[in-house]
Amino acid sequence: MPGLGTSFGRGGATTAQPDLANADAILIMGSSMAENHPVGFQWVMEAREKGAKLIHVDPRFTRTSAMADIWLPLRAGTDIIFLGALIRYVFENNRVFHDYVVPYTNASTILREDFRDTEDLDGFFSGWDAEKQKYDPETWLYQGAQKTGSSSSPGHSEAGGGHGKDRGGEAQDPAGFRSDATLQHPRCVFQVLKRHFSRYTPELVEQQCGIPREAFLKAAEAFTAASGPEKTAAICYAVGWTQHSKGVQIIRAAAILQLLLGNIGRPGGGILALRGHASIQGSTDIPTLYDILPGYLPMPFFEKDSQKLDSYVKKHSARTGLWAGFDKYFISLMRAYYGESATEENDWGFNWLPRVTGDHSHFGYWLDMADGKLEGLFVMGQNPAVGAANGRLERKALANLKWLVVRDMVEIETASFWYASPEVERGELSPDTIGTEVFLFPASGTAEKAGTFTNTQRLLQFREKAVDPPGDNRSDLWFVYHLGRRLKARAGAASRDAALRALTWDYPTEGKHDEPSPSEVLKEINGWSMADGKQLHHIKDLKNDGSTACGAWIYCGVHPEEDRNRALERNSKDALGHGWGFAWPNDCRIIYNRASARPDGKPWSERKKLVWWDDEKKQWTGLDTPDYEKETPPHAPAHIEEGEGTSALGGARPFTLHPDGVGWLYVPSGLKDGPLPAHYEALEAPVKNSLYSQNTNPAADKKQRPDNPYANAHGDPRFPYVLSTYRLTEQHTAGGMTRHLSHLNELQPELFTEVSPELAAERGLKHGEWATITTARGALEAKVLITPRILPLRIDGRTVHQVGLPYHWGYMGQATGDVANDLLAISEEPNVRIMETKALLCDVHPGRRDRHAPVSERVPSYEESRA
């Protein structure tokens, strides 16, 4: 989550769902929260009932819109225009929370003279390398910035990777930064921002988003009026923002808005990233991603200087702020992995870690697989045959494997592609010729095993096992542990087996199936002292001399005593839920909460107090755990020039993971597609970019190839409509967990498409009957649901129709239907490598699809379409 990570320091929601009840306005954009987070939505309703204004900006009128005071329909993919216009509104109408912005953000910091904005270069920031198709971000740095790392351009290793930069960009030494507290310097961030967003006018919103000017202004007023010392406003988003070729920059725009309004670190404020699966936050904290290690420590890359721990640590640590402890976090992790085998002499086992050599993201290796470069694959808890973009390519690639292991609770499409997929139906694949050996292992479900979830608000909750898994079902922990054990037993003397030999792999097991104990794993994640095995209490206990082991530094404190598992605690003491579970870091429910007090340590207002300085006790106190050095008084001066660690930040810099301790309106490093958000059209869009002649995010990777084609980038007569995919409350993601359950299937039994009455008339679609939707990748059939909840938008003087499509169906289970992702292209946002699912081009016709030919062979070529 580098959007939040680079802006504030941590890649996690800044607030907690119950805190939404304290908001005076809530902007939900890029999510249908009522539908996809219905339980969390109770606090939104609570806020609304208390008088908060609820604004929903979404192409469709959803169940969330139905609850809102204001719904604004916007053309998918134009969020940055909308948010940019909000930012401009804040400037134009003097809504900037100056007393917050000056001390707590980098508004005053001065940029280099050679920095050029998209406004100057027609859609490019300075540093674009047309040859390499990427940015050299050198010029984005602050004036006087010194690089502490050894790599040439901070934050931009050759081989991809964005998650590791969640910690706020590569280390920079703030010693030489210059600033202008009056915010008048023409190159200070504040002025640059003002200029950058000056073209994002309400008129542009009307022309490009399709939102009438007055409607926009109404929403802008409602949102910005609910900010300031006495009030706060929150923003909630989910994949309606992230799954774009510029998703990170949309979130960045939200971060800028919230910083300018002073809404971060304060009750009822913040940005809530609504994360998807039950523990998806957990799976980035203790990552299932290829480019980071637990706690957002970057995975070492295969580079010329990557052999030495020293240079790795130097590159990623900072002199000031929390990242000064990088070596402590890292070495403690190595001690958790390798125990006594990790020694100072062998660089704590640094070289036992693999190196990232290229794009090993999902799509990266899947395309390798399609090209026959992969032999085997484990798929655990994922259903890419349905959930991943370009379904046809994904499934056909599976047929290139020698072996495939699928662990799931049901026979999912990924495991049955070889006999049940549309490719088999069409004769593109045949069970007779597919060489892939498929192993389907039964996995136990959540109720059949113990362990923790880390939910959307960084809250770890440990749940006990409710029932024993039936038959051969086993937990994933069991599978991975015993697989590791067997591999370890086979490790030979060869040097390539050294890591395996060194690995500690000694979790106690219990029961007749030798289930490893998840609480033992959690203890290791929490960390202990190597000498006496005592659990650690606090991140501050971590050491860089090998005396501590810790599986994920950010989780330190979750299991502070041998017999105290805070994730298991169930005594909620207050509205923020302290006493129920454990929120990382240090059980802070609202992070950066030092910002809830004025620089002098007093709350901004009585109504919005959260954390403050207690002059009697000489410490920070309040309604939440202070996300700050407890004993550093507000007036403690900063020693940015020469100090070390968090103490160098003094008493009034709330964003302690940033070396300068402030929130970043402008991100000098850590992002691949620019320091500021700029509007680009989606990779497939019905119109040209009206701001720059550069149409799309230049750093995005289209992965364009014959099996992954695109419609024309702006206006393709064969695909005149905008297509967006989304979820339904009644089904879950790729369907493995819902399409086998009758009580859910009866509620949404079939794939359908939502279209406006106008589009239905234009194309002759009939309510309740079939329609075929085509894109450059494929075709599918869906039942037609005509509804005025889908509005045709006026864009640039012409009508743009939208086609809505939920994506939950596949060919297995009780309720089957075509796979929406067969329509999508594999594409990669530059920072997190996510695909664009929310804005595409399509066509729609009445009738069912041709079951025999793949659409790519039926989409007319240009010559044919002219005839």
Partner 1 sequence: MASRRNLDPTDYRRERNLEEIRVQAEATRQLQVVGQPEKTSFPRATPEDGYYGLPILKKTPWTWEIPLYFFVGGAAGAAAVIGAIADYTGADRELVRHARWIAAAGSVISPALLIADLGRPERFLAMLRVFKPQSPMSVGVWTLLGFSSGATAAAFADFLTRRYGPSIPLRVLENAGQAASLAFGLPFSNYTGVLIGVSAIPVWNRNATDLPLHFAASGLGAAVGMLELMGHHKNRVLHTLGLGAALFESWEGLRIEARSNPDLDPLKHGASGFVTRAGGILSGPVPALLRSGSFFSSRRRSQSLRRWAAWSAIAGSLITRFAWMHAGRQSAKEWKPPVQREAGLSRQATK
Partner 2 sequence: MSVTAFLTDATLCIGCKACEVACKEWNGIDEDGLQFSGFSYDNTGSVGASTWRHVKFVEQAPLPGLGGNSGEQVSWTFSSDVCKHCGEAGCLEACPTGSIVRTEFGGVFIQPDVCNGCGYCVTACPFGVVERNSKDGRAFKCTFCYDRQKAGLEPACAKVCPTESIKFGELEQLRQKADERIAELHDRGMTDANLYDPLDTSVAGVHALFIIRGDARTYNLPPAPEVPTIYLKKAWTSSALAAGLLFGGTLLAFLSAGKNGR
Ligand X SMILES: Nc1nc2c(c(=O)[nH]1)N[C@H]1C(S)=C(S)[C@@H](COP(=O)(O)OP(=O)(O)OC[C@H]3O[C@@H](n4cnc5c(=O)[nH]c(N)nc54)[C@H](O)[C@@H]3O)O[C@H]1N2
Given the rule CB under 6 A, which residues bind ligand X?
Answer: 29-32, 36-37, 57-60, 62, 76-77, 79, 238-240, 243, 274, 276-277, 380-384, 387, 407-410, 412, 443, 445-446, 476, 724-727, 729, 731-737, 807, 820-821, 824, 837-839
In one letter, which amino acid is 646? T
Please identify, using beta-carbon distances, which residue of 39 and 493 lies nearer to ligand SF4.
39
* Minimum distance from residue 41 beta carbon to ligand SF4 (Å): 8
| CB proximity list for 142: less than 8 A, separation 6 or greater | 106, 109, 110, 111, 112, 172, 177, 178, 668
Instruction: Say which entry of Mo ion, ligand X, ligand SF4, none residue 30 contacts (CB below 5 to 8 A, set by partner kind).
Output: ligand X
* Minimum distance from residue 382 beta carbon to ligand SF4 (Å): 18
Complete DSSP assignment for 292-348: EEGGGEEPPBSSTTTT-HHHHHHHH--SBSGGGGHHHHHHHHHHHHHGGG--TTTGG
The CA distance from 781 to 398, in Å, is 24
Question: Is residue 417 near partner 2 by the rule CB under 8 A?
Answer: no
What count of Cα atoms within 13 Å lies in the side-chain half-sphere of residue 683? 30
Please identify, using beta-carbon distances, which residue of 117 and 828 lies nearer to ligand X.
828
Please identify, using beta-carbon distances, which residue of 211 and 399 lies nearer to partner 2.
211
Instruction: Say which entry of ligand SF4, partner 1, ligand X, none residue 278 contacts (CB below 5 to 8 A, set by partner kind).
Output: ligand SF4
Question: Is residue 56 near partner 2 by the rule CB under 8 A?
Answer: yes
Total residues in contact with ligand SF4, by rule CB under 6 A:
4
The CA distance from 825 to 776, in Å, is 8
| CB proximity list for 433: less than 8 A, separation 6 or greater | none
Question: Is residue 215 near partner 2 by the rule CB under 8 A?
Answer: yes
Angle among Cα 272, 455, 559 to the nearest 5 degrees reads: 125
Question: Is residue 757 near partner 1 by the rule CB under 8 A?
Answer: yes
With helix as H, strand as E and coil as C, how does 610-630 read?
Answer: CEEEECCCCEEEECCCCCCCC
Q: How buried is residue 309: exposed, middle or buried, by Cβ count under 10 Å (0-12/13-18/19+)? A: buried
Using the contact rule CB under 8 A, the part of the chain among 341-349, 534-542, 656-664, 780-788 near partner 2 is 780-788
β-sheet bridge partners, residue 617: none
Instruction: Say which entry of Mo ion, partner 2, partner 1, none residue 276 contacts (CB below 5 to 8 A, set by partner kind).
Output: Mo ion
Q: How buried is residue 618: exposed, middle or buried, by Cβ count under 10 Å (0-12/13-18/19+)? A: exposed
Q: Taking CB under 8 A as the criterion, which residues in 113-132 touch partner 1? A: 122-123, 128, 130
Question: Is residue 589 near ligand SF4 by the rule CB under 6 A?
Answer: no
Question: Is residue 357 near partner 1 by the rule CB under 8 A?
Answer: no
Query: Helix 79-92 crosses helix 189-196 at what angle (to 10 degrees)?
Result: 120
The CA distance from 96 to 107, in Å, is 11
* Minimum distance from residue 566 beta carbon to ligand X (Å): 23
* Minimum distance from residue 192 beta carbon to ligand X (Å): 26
Complete DSSP assignment for 63-128: TTGGG-SEEE---TT-HHHHHHHHHHHHHHTT---HHHHHHHBGGGBBBPTT---TTTTTS--TTE
According to CB under 8 A, which one of 164, 663, 698, 804 is a site residue for partner 1? 698
CA end-to-end span of the chain: 48
Question: Is residue 491 near ligand SF4 by the rule CB under 6 A?
Answer: no
Helix (H, G, I), strand (E, B) or coil at 72: strand
Question: Is residue 713 near partner 1 by the rule CB under 8 A?
Answer: yes
According to CB under 8 A, which one of 139, 712, 729, 814 is a site residue for partner 1? 712
Question: Is residue 278 near ligand SF4 by the rule CB under 6 A?
Answer: yes
β-sheet bridge partners, residue 377: 404
Q: How far is CA 728 from the centre of its chain?
A: 20
Instruction: Say which entry of partner 2, ligand X, partner 1, none residue 477 contacts (CB below 5 to 8 A, set by partner kind).
Output: none
Nearest Cα residue to 629 out of 327, 325, 328, 332: 325
Please identify, using beta-carbon distances, which residue of 65 and 696 lies nearer to partner 2.
65
The CA distance from 677 to 681, in Å, is 13
Question: Is residue 711 near partner 1 by the rule CB under 8 A?
Answer: yes
- What does DSSP say about strands 172-173 and 146-147: parallel, antiparallel, or unpaired? antiparallel
Q: Taking CB under 8 A as the criterion, which residues in 63-122 touch partner 2? A: 63-71
* Minimum distance from residue 453 beta carbon to ligand SF4 (Å): 8
Question: Is residue 783 near partner 2 by the rule CB under 8 A?
Answer: yes
* Minimum distance from residue 732 beta carbon to ligand SF4 (Å): 8
Nearest Cα residue to 377 out of 424, 826, 385, 491: 385
Query: Helix 391-398 crosses helix 413-420 at what angle (to 10 degrees)?
Result: 80
The CA distance from 127 to 675, in Å, is 11
Please identify, using beta-carbon distances, which residue of 170 and 684 lies nearer to partner 1.
684
* Minimum distance from residue 387 beta carbon to ligand X (Å): 3
Please identify, using beta-carbon distances, which residue of 814 and 856 lies nearer to partner 2.
814
Q: Taking CB under 6 A as the criterion, which residues in 25-84 touch ligand SF4? A: 37-39
Q: How far is CA 189 from the centre of its chain?
A: 25
* Minimum distance from residue 326 beta carbon to Mo ion (Å): 29
Instruction: Say which entry of ligand X, partner 1, partner 2, none residue 763 contacts (CB below 5 to 8 A, set by partner kind).
Output: partner 1
Using the contact rule CB under 8 A, the part of the chain among 309-317, 528-536, 781-789, 854-862 near partner 2 is 781-789
Instruction: Say which entry of Mo ion, partner 1, partner 2, none residue 798 contacts (CB below 5 to 8 A, set by partner kind).
Output: partner 1
Torsion of CA 34, 35, 36, 42, to 10 degrees: 30
The CA distance from 163 to 490, in Å, is 33
Which residue is at the shortest CB distance from Mo ion? 276
* Minimum distance from residue 742 beta carbon to partner 2 (Å): 3
Torsion of CA 456, 461, 467, 470, to 10 degrees: 50
DSSP state of 484: H
Please identify, using beta-carbon distances, which residue of 409 and 785 lies nearer to ligand X.
409
The CA distance from 215 to 194, in Å, is 23
Query: Residue 315 has which token pair?
Result: 């590159």
Instruction: Say which entry of partner 1, Mo ion, ligand SF4, none residue 403 contacts (CB below 5 to 8 A, set by partner kind).
Output: none
Please identify, using beta-carbon distances, which residue of 360 and 777 lies nearer to partner 1.
777
What residues make contact with Mo ion under the rule CB under 5 A? 276
- What does DSSP say about strands 802-806 and 798-800: parallel, antiparallel, or unpaired? unpaired
Question: Is residue 765 near partner 1 by the rule CB under 8 A?
Answer: yes
CB of 489 closer than 8 Å to CB of 70: no
Cis peptide before 585 (omega within 30 of 0): yes
Question: Is residue 372 near ligand SF4 by the rule CB under 6 A?
Answer: no
What is the x/- site pattern for partner 2, positions 743-772, by CB under 8 A? xxxxxxxx-x--------------xx----
Query: Residue 265 has which token pair?
Result: 């670190």
* Minimum distance from residue 820 beta carbon to ligand SF4 (Å): 21
Instruction: Say which entry of Mo ion, ligand SF4, ligand X, none residue 217 contacts (CB below 5 to 8 A, set by partner kind).
Output: none
* Minimum distance from residue 783 beta carbon to partner 2 (Å): 5
CB atoms near residue 249 (< 10 Å): 30
Residue in the block written with tokens 């292209």: 825
* Minimum distance from residue 705 beta carbon to partner 1 (Å): 8
Q: What residues make contact with partner 2 under the rule CB under 8 A?
A: 34-35, 38-39, 41-42, 45, 48-49, 56, 61, 63-71, 215, 728-730, 742-750, 752, 767-768, 783, 785, 787-789, 791, 814-815
Q: What residues make contact with partner 1 under the rule CB under 8 A?
A: 122-123, 128, 130, 133, 688, 692-696, 698, 704-706, 709-718, 720, 756-758, 760-767, 785-787, 798-799, 861-863, 865
Q: What residues make contact with ligand SF4 under the rule CB under 6 A?
A: 37-39, 278
